[in-house]
Every structure is written in structure tokens, then in C-alpha cells.
Chains A and B, each alone.
Chain A
Amino acid sequence: MKVQIHVSLKPGVLDPQGRAIHHALEGLGFTGVNDVRAGRLIELDVDDDVSDAKLDEMCRQLLANMVIENYRIEKVGEKEPA
């Protein structure tokens, strides 16, 4: 099973990287961009019997830093046959 973990900074936490990307977009002449937040995508390939609770634990213990980050777990499909 393929699982995508989307890790993003919590609202209210200043995102210097997102701000720099925002400035760079403006520098390229793009207008209408109101805000940019940069995050991280982690893709896991896990056995089908790995529970949602275990995935949650993985996020809380390692993949996200709960002080500053939120995470969202998305299952994107079954494991492809070999």
C-alpha cells in the first residue's frame, strides 16, 4: 500500500522558506500569489495490514515535529503487483 504523508507547518508558525519562495515568484513577475507555505511529502510503501493507528504513531514519533508541524495521511493506492 502506498501512503503519502503531507507534513506542513502549523498555521501561525513563520515559514521563512515559504516567504523566500513567495519573493522569488514575485521576482519572476507572477502576480496574485497571496501566500506560500512550504511543506514536505514523505511516501511510504507499507504492508496492507499496517493499521491507521500505526501510521499515526509513525507521524507523531518521527515524521512530523508536533511542536511546529501538522501532518495528513493519504492512502494513494494498493501495492502494485510484482
Chain B
Amino acid sequence: MAFRSAVITFPGSNCDRDMAVAIEQVSGTAPLRIWHGDAELPERLDFIALPGGFSYGDYLRSGAMAARSPIMQAIVAAAGRGVPVLGVCNGFQVLTESGLLPGALMRNAGQNFICRTVPLRVENNQSLFTKGYDAGQIIDIPVAHHDGNFFADEQTLDRLEGEGRVAFRYDQPCNGSRRDIAGILNQAGNVLGMMPHPERAIDPSHGGSDGRALFESVVRAALVAA
């Protein structure tokens, strides 16, 4: 059965095409493209991706406006039903702003926009997104963000660590994130938010393909579930 996925586009999203290309290359099927003003999602989705960019010009706070757009209510409902949801970069900011993931993403500690490939450590390789990696594996994934400094209070951080919900950690300090957290899972494990861009690392000719296993893991999970 064909892999049914959706990439959401907000005004100001700019990694939606990269995300769609990555999903199509790995799954063999092009994702549906969904506009933020749509109130409903297609039925029977195997995967929803919130791409990077600067939705609504990052007005108010990064991701704040997108998190209140019509399509997000449908995404929150789909996440509640167990549909895998990935938010990358601005997509991660939208997920925290919408309450699907805890914490917040603040201005980078060094104030600078950071755009380079960074080593990440795979902390949890049991999730549907990360099964294709080894525990503790170091992977190289590009980051490109100004507001990637993950913040949560100590109690929340302890809970995330204790429940194995830190999916990825920067192997070297990157942006001031608490405990160098780069990506986290929700409690049910079907929502992943991460600042680094796995969709930019699926083709060796683009400098690396360490992001590919993430998409392969999601596709495999859908096959198992079908």
C-alpha cells in the first residue's frame, strides 16, 4: 500500500519542498501538500510533516501564529489518534507553541543565526522515527536557525530524560539548549520535534545522508502498522 503522507505549508514555510522531496525519495510516493488555511486533513495519513521556515514572518514568537492556524487543530487531533507527526526547525517551534510538545525555543544563546552541519547523538533509538539508528550513534545533520535554544524547567527536563523522550542531543554545545537537547518526543512517542534538518541530509551528493534513516524508520513503521 502506498505511503500516505502530508506536508503542511504555512505562509513563510521554506523547507516544505525539501521535506516533500525527502519523503518521496525514501517512500516512493509524493506527499500531499496541505495549506495552513485548510481545516481538515486527508483521511488515513501515515505521516504528517511540519517543515522549516519562517511561518507568518515569525511574528509575535517563532511558530506562534502557525500554531493557532486552522490546520493545527486537525493536526493536534491526528496526533491524538497516533498519527506520526514530525516538526523540523520552525515545525518544532510550531509543535511547542501548539502544546503538542513541552518547552519553548528561544533565541540562540550567542544571538547569531547558526547555519552549519552539526554532530547529533541518537539518545533514543526505540521510537518510530529513530529505529533505523543505533543507540548512541553520532550522525551529521545540518542546522539553520536563530531560535533553537531549547528551554524547559528542570522538572520537565528531568521528566523528558527519565521517560526517554530526548531523541537527539547536540554532541557539542550548539545554541545554548538546556542539556544540549536537539529533538524531543511526546509521551506517546508519535510526535517528534527537532531543530536540525534531516530532510537536508538524504543524498550523499548534498554532503551527507544521515537523515535518511529517520524517514526510512517512519516508512517502515507505517508498513508494520498496515
Given contacts A13-B151, A16-B176, contact A62 B111 (CB under 8 A): no
Whether, in the assembled complex, B152 has its beta carbon less than 8 Å from a beta carbon of chain A, the answer is: yes
Binary B-proximity of A1-16 (CB < 8 A = 1, otherwise 0): 0000000000001101
> Least Cβ distance of B105 to chain A in Å?
9
Whether, in the assembled complex, B107 has its beta carbon less than 8 Å from a beta carbon of chain A, the answer is: yes
Binary A-proximity of B57-100 (CB < 8 A = 1, otherwise 0): 00011001000100000000000000000000000000011000
Q: In the complex, which residues of chain A have a beta carbon less than 8 angstroms from the beta carbon of B149?
A: 16
In the complex the two chains form, is B60's CB within 8 Å of A17's CB? no
Whether, in the assembled complex, A68 has its beta carbon less than 8 Å from a beta carbon of chain B, the answer is: yes
In the complex the two chains form, is A14's CB within 8 Å of B176's CB? yes
In the complex the two chains form, is B64's CB within 8 Å of A65's CB? yes
Assembled-state Cα–Cα distance A40/B63 (Å): 17
Binary B-proximity of A43-82 (CB < 8 A = 1, otherwise 0): 0000000000000000001110101100000000000000
In the complex the two chains form, is B151's CB within 8 Å of A68's CB? yes
> Least Cβ distance of A15 to chain B in Å?
8
| Chain B count of residues within 8 A CB distance of the other chain | 19
In the complex the two chains form, is B61's CB within 8 Å of A67's CB? no
Assembled-state Cα–Cα distance A13/B103 (Å): 12
In the complex the two chains form, is B111's CB within 8 Å of A20's CB? yes
In the complex the two chains form, is A16's CB within 8 Å of B152's CB? no
In the complex the two chains form, is A16's CB within 8 Å of B111's CB? yes
* Shortest Cβ distance from B61 into A: residue: A65
**Chain A interface category by residue count:** 10 to 19
Given contacts A62-B64, A65-B97, A68-B106, contact A17 B151 (CB under 8 A): no
Given contacts A14-B176, A67-B104, contact A62 B109 (CB under 8 A): no
In the complex the two chains form, is B106's CB within 8 Å of A62's CB? no
Whether, in the assembled complex, B209 has its beta carbon less than 8 Å from a beta carbon of chain A, the answer is: no
Binary A-proximity of B111-133 (CB < 8 A = 1, otherwise 0): 10000000000000000000000
Q: In the complex, which residues of chain B have a beta carbon less than 8 angstroms from the beta carbon of A16?
A: 106-111, 149, 176
- Which listed residue (B60, B97, B152) contacts A63, Cβ 8 A? B60
Q: In the complex, which residues of chain A have a beta carbon less than 8 angstroms from the beta carbon of B68?
A: 61-62
Q: Which residues of B contact A (CB under 8 A)?
A: 60-61, 64, 68, 96-97, 102-104, 106-111, 149, 151-152, 176
**Known pairs A16-B106, A68-B151 / 6 extra A-B pairs, C-beta < 8 Å:** A13-B106, A14-B106, A61-B68, A62-B64, A65-B61, A67-B96
Report the 9 A-B pairs with minimum CB-CB distance, sorted nearest first: A67-B104, A68-B104, A16-B107, A16-B111, A20-B111, A16-B109, A65-B104, A65-B61, A68-B151
23 A-B pairs within 8 Å (CB atoms) are namely A13-B106, A13-B151, A16-B106, A16-B108, A16-B109, A16-B110, A16-B111, A16-B149, A16-B176, A17-B111, A20-B111, A61-B68, A62-B60, A62-B64, A62-B68, A63-B60, A65-B97, A67-B102, A67-B103, A67-B104, A67-B152, A68-B104, A68-B151
